[in-house]
Chain A
Amino acid sequence: MTTNTPTNGGAALIRALELEGVDVIFGLPGGAILPVYDPIIDSPIRHILVRHEQGAGHMAEGYAHATGRPGVAMVTSGPAATNIVTPLADAYMDSVPMVVITGQVGSAGIGLDAFQEVDTVGITRSITKHNELVTRAEDIPRIVREAFHIATTGRPGPVLIDIPKDMVDPNHPNSKMNWYWPESVDLPGYSPRLEGDPAAIEAAARLILAAERPVLYVGGGILKARAAEPLRALAEMLEIPVVTTLMARGAIPDDHPLCLGMPGMHGNYTAVTAMQESDLLIALGARFDDRVTGKVSTFAPEAKIIHVDIDPAEHGKVRRPDVAIVGDCRLVIEELLVALRTLGAPDAGADLRPWRSTLSGWQEKYPLAYEQSEVGDLLKPQYVLEMLSGSVPEDCIVASGVGQHQMWTSQYWKFTHPYTWINSGGLGTMGFSVPAAIGAKVGRPDRMVWAVDGDGCFQMTAQELVTAAAERIPVKIAILNNAYLGMVRQWQEMFYEERYSEVYLSPDLPDYKMWAEAMGCVGMRVESPEDVLPAIERANEIDDRPVVIDFRTDSREKVFPMVPAGASNSDIVVGPEPR
C-alpha cells in the first residue's frame, strides 16, 4: 500500500501493525471488532485464538517479558474489553510494553447503552500508560504509531486503542481514508529523559566510592532497560553485593558470588538484612515497594539512597533519595562506570571486604532451608522446585502465578539468565502463569518454557491450555497442588489463630490429570519423591503438546523467611517454630 492509496480503517490498522513489526496477535473476535478480523486472513501476522480475553492479555504480557518486544492483544467491545482490564492493570503495575486494541460500538451508538457497549477508555484510563478512542479513520496509522512508541519508550507500559466499528468497516463511509505512514511521532508532552544528569552521576559515584556497606538494589527496571550486562560490570568493578527483587530475578546469576538473591517479605535473611544494615542503597529501576521495604520508617535506617529510575515520579515517592538520577538504567550505569573510573575506581573505593565477609557469614548461618518429607508424606514444594530447576536447560523460561508457589519458585529456582523469569509482581494476579507461559513460548519457541502454578491459580485460567494444544504451543505446567489457597491459609494459620476460612480447595476436585487430557495435553500425577524427577524428565521430552503435572504437595508447608505485613525488616522470621 503506497501513500495516498484509498483504503479503509480496518485494512489500515492491520497494515500499521505489520509496519510496527508485529508478528503475532493474541485475540478473540466479536461483533464490534469483526471488520478487522477480515484483513487478518490475508496478513502475515499470526493470530492466536484464545478462549478468554484475559488469556489474550496475559499472553501478550508473557510475550513481552520474554522477548522485550511489545505484546499485542485484540478483542471486541463490552465484556471483552472488561475481561482484558486485569491484564492491562497487571502490565501497568509491572511496566510491561503492550498494545491492546478493543472494538467499540459504532460512533452513532456510543453513549446510548448500545449492545456490548462500555466506556472502555474511561474504565482503563487509570491502568494504562495511555489510551485513545479513534474518532476518525484517518487517525488510525498515527495512533498506532504513537501507541507503540509510548508503550515501548520511557517507562514501558500498556496502551489501549479503542476503535468504533464504523471506523474499520469497509462498507461504512466513516472508514474511508487514504493510506499514509507517519515519518515520526509528534507528542509535545512526552519526551522521556534517557541520559543521567552528569552532576548527579558524579555525586552518585562519590557516594559509591565512600560507602562501606553498599548494596545494589536491583528492580524490574534493569530488565526493562535490558541492562543485565552493565549491571554485572558495575557490581564487579567494586565487588558490590546485589539483591534482585521479585521483578529482577536473573538480572545477575544466582550463582554469581556477589548475588544475594531476593529481598523483601519472603526474601532470604542475607538479602533482607544486607539492605537493613547497608550504608548505601543503589536502587536501579526499583520502586521501594511495600513488599520490599516492610515498615518504611524502619527500612534501611542508616542507608543513603541513590535512586536511578526512568520515571521521575518514583523519586521520593516512598523514600527520599540523596541522589536522584532520571534516566535509562543501561545508559546511566554506563555513565556511572565512566565516572567511577575517572574518580580512580576500583582502587579509590572503600575496602568492602569486611562487609562481604559479614554477608557471607549470614549466608552460611541462615541459608534457605526446608525439611524433607517423611516416607509416605506428601511432597515438599521446595523439593519439586529444586528437582525442576536442576533438570531443565539453563536458559529455560519459567512463569508463575501468585501465592506460595510464586515465592518458592523465586526462592528455589536457580536463575542463571536474565529475562527467564515471568511473574505478576505488582498486581499479584492469580491465574497469570498459564497464559503468560504460552505467550513466552510463542515469543521464544527456541526455549523450553515451564509454568509453576498453584492449584488455586490454575483453576482461574487453565482453559488457555486448549489454546496451547490447538496452536501446538508446547508449554509445561507444574501444579504445586496443596489443595488450598496456600498463601491465604498461611496467613490464617499465622495471624488468624489457625481459623481456616474458605481456603480449602480439594486435591482431586477437579482431577487435574483428566482435565489436562481433556484439554489436549499430556497429564501426569506425582505423589512420591522418587517419581518427581522421572515425571519432569518425561515432560521435558514432550515437544508436540502441552504437559501438566499435578504434584501433590504438603499443605502445611509455609513460605519462610517472612517479614509479617507492616513489620520492620529487622523482625524477619527465618523459619517455622520447631514443632
Chain B
Amino acid sequence: MSAPGAEIASAGEAALDVRHHILSVLVENKPGVLARVAGLFARRGFNIFSLAVAPTDDPRLSRITIVVDVRSTPLEQVTKQLDKLINVVQIDELAPDSAVERELMIVTVTVDAVGRADLLALTAEYSGVVLDEAADRITVSLGGTPEALDAFTARMGSAVVAYQRTGRIALPRIAH
C-alpha cells in the first residue's frame, strides 16, 4: 500500500493529463441517436462532463455539444468512430479560444448566509435574473461563460441550496 499523500499526488498528475474537449456534433433528429453517441464514450469509460442537445433551425437536425474529459489521442479515435454513426452528420472539435460558449444556470440560495441585498447586488453584477423569492431563499438564473458561472458559484459558497446547469453550448468563432 502506498502512502495516502502519494495517491493524492498521482491523482493530481492524472488530472493535469486530461483536458476538457468540446465536441459539437450535428446529428439527425431521430430516436436513439443520443444513446448511440453516448454509448461510444461509455464503452471506453470516458466521462461526459456536460451535454446539451436541442434541434437546430433545421428541424431534421439536432446539435449536441459534448464536453468530455479525455486525452487527445483517444479522443481522435472516438471522434472518428462518432463520424461512422450513420445519423451523425458532422463533428467539430471546438478549441476554447476559437469558439464562443455560453451556459445557463438556475440556483437557489439561502438569504441568511449572504444577505438579501448583497445577493441581489451580486446577481445584478453577473446580469442574473431573480426567478423566485421566499423569505429565506432566492432562486436566480444566470447565463454566461462557464467560467463566469463558476465564479458566481464560488462567491455563493455554502449558501447554495439547489443548483442546476444546462451544460455548455458552443459555436465556432466567426471573427478572429
**A189-B85 contact in complex given A122-B35, A125-B36, C-beta closer than 8 Å:** yes
The answer to whether B32 and A313 touch across the interface, beta carbons within 8 angstroms, is: no
A189 B80 Cβ-Cβ under 8 A: no
Do B87 and A125 have beta carbons less than 8 Å apart?
no
Interface assignment of A130: CB less than 8 Å from any CB of chain B: yes
Q: Any chain A CB within 8 A of the CB of B23?
A: no
**Cα distance A188–B26 in the bound complex, in angstroms:** 11
Is B81 engaged at the interface, CB distance under 8 Å to the other chain? yes
Distance in angstroms between the alpha carbons of A189 and B83 in the assembled complex: 8
Write out the residue numbers on chain A whose beta carbons fall within 8 Å of the beta carbon of B35.
122, 125
Q: Measured between alpha carbons, how far is A174 from B84 in the docked complex, in Å?
A: 33
Which residues, 418 to 462 on A, are CB-close (under 8 Å) to B? none
- How many residues on the A side are at the interface (Cβ–Cβ under 8 A)? 19
A121 and B32 within 8 A (CB): yes
Residues of B within 8 A of A43 (CB): none
Q: Which residue of A lies closest to B81 (CB)?
A: A313
Q: Counting CB contacts under 8 A, is B89 at the interface?
A: yes
The distance in angstroms between the C-alpha atoms of A190 and B90, with both chains bound, is 10
Q: Are B77 and A125 in contact (CB under 8 A)?
A: no
Residue B94 is within 8 A (CB to CB) of chain A in the complex: no
Report the bound CA distance from A315 to B90 in whole Å: 19
Whether the Cβ atoms of B86 and A130 lie closer than 8 Å is yes
CB–CB A150/B86 < 8 A:
yes
**Measured CA separation A35–B39 after assembly (Å):** 33
Q: For the complex, is B31 an interface residue (Cβ under 8 Å from A)? A: yes
- Which residues does chain B contribute within 8 Å of A58, judged by CB atoms? none
- Assembled-state Cα–Cα distance A125/B40 (Å): 10
Given known A125-B36, A126-B39, A189-B88, contact A312–B83 (CB-CB < 8 A):
yes
Whether the Cβ atoms of A311 and B28 lie closer than 8 Å is: no
B43 at interface by CB-CB < 8 Å: yes
- The answer to whether B77 touches A317, judged by C-beta atoms less than 8 angstroms apart, is yes
- CB-based closest 5 A-B pairs: A313-B80, A189-B89, A130-B86, A190-B86, A189-B88
A sample of 26 cross-chain residue pairs with beta-carbon separation below 8 angstroms, ordered by A number, consists of: A121-B32, A122-B35, A125-B36, A125-B39, A126-B39, A126-B43, A129-B86, A130-B86, A133-B32, A135-B31, A187-B86, A188-B89, A189-B28, A189-B86, A189-B87, A189-B88, A189-B90, A190-B86, A312-B80, A312-B83, A313-B77, A313-B80, A313-B83, A315-B80, A316-B77, A317-B77
Please name 18 further chain A to chain B contacts, defined as beta carbons within 8 Å, in addition to the given A150-B86, A189-B90, sorted by A numbering: A125-B32, A125-B35, A126-B39, A126-B43, A187-B86, A188-B61, A188-B89, A189-B28, A189-B85, A189-B86, A189-B87, A189-B88, A189-B89, A311-B84, A312-B83, A313-B80, A315-B80, A316-B76
